[in-house]
Amino acid sequence: MPTSFYNKKTAAIFGKPLRKLQKHPNVMKLYGLSFKQDAGTKFLQIIMEHCEDSLYNIVMVKRKPTACGSFQTLKDCKKSWTFVLNIMEGLCLALDYIHNKGFVHRDLKLSNVMVKGECSVRLADFGLSKKEANITGTLTGTPLYMAPEVLMGHLYGTEADIYSLGMIIYELWYYRPVFSVPLQADSTKFEFTVKTIDELKEYKTLREGKPNLDIAHKPPLKLKYIMQDCWNEHKEVRPSATKSV
């Protein structure tokens, strides 16, 4: 069991965004925070809602249900397509909630989306979340998912999360990382086409610098357009979270 707070002020600062974002079914519940000392080392304990899996583990490791991008038509992948739609809906509703509260997640990716039951989303890991008004252009998040304005050190807001959402939708459809190519035909292992932050910055500011949607078994046009709008290099063009559902 957790010990009493070692530093209440630090725990309060860390937990502030978490406590303010607790009233939505698609946001992971926080039950408590504490500091514990073990063998001379102090560390923060976070007690949160239990979820069976992460979206990363489902998509990139277990690879079940089979990726929609592996089928010839939507009719052939009803179970997988239902999974994609349910995940998208839950994630977009969670994003809409935190954005309306004035927060930007800032590190949206598969591993920060937890799944409860078969397909009930819990948006997690608000350690980098910040009030939109307090964001100063710091380089925060996971580079492959970062919007161009974040990589360039410009001011950014909720639109940066929408860019990352587009990357997640791509990975949900194909079960492959963005900006990657298979190591060999039908491989589940991939090699990234961009290697450095500088290369990624240059790539993402180009109109053609987007994940490849022309590979086999393309997504339906509506989903394709949602992805393209989400990762548009011009943030003012990106849709809101609810318009991405």
Residue pLDDT, tens place only, 22-32: 889 999 988 87
In the block, which residue shows the tokens 């979206």? 55
16 pLDDT band, cuts 50/70/90, is: low
4 pLDDT band, cuts 50/70/90, is: very low
d(CA 138, CA 187): 36
116 pLDDT band, cuts 50/70/90, is: very high
Residue pLDDT, tens place only, 41-70: 777 777 889 999 999 999 999 999 999 998
Helix residue spans in the chain (DSSP H): 8-20, 55-56, 78-100, 148-151, 158-174, 197-204, 221-230
How far out from the chain centre does Cα 195 lie? 21
Task: Please tell me the predicted confidence (pLDDT) of residue 43.
Answer: 75
Residue pLDDT, tens place only, 117-141: 989 999 988 654 445 444 434 445 6
Residue pLDDT, tens place only, 177-234: 887 766 666 666 776 666 677 777 766 665 555 787 877 788 999 999 999 999 998 9
Q: How many helices (H) and strands (E) does the chain have?
A: 7, 9
Work out whether strand 190-192 and strand 180-182 pair parallel, antiparallel, or are unpaired.
antiparallel
Total-model pTM: 0.82
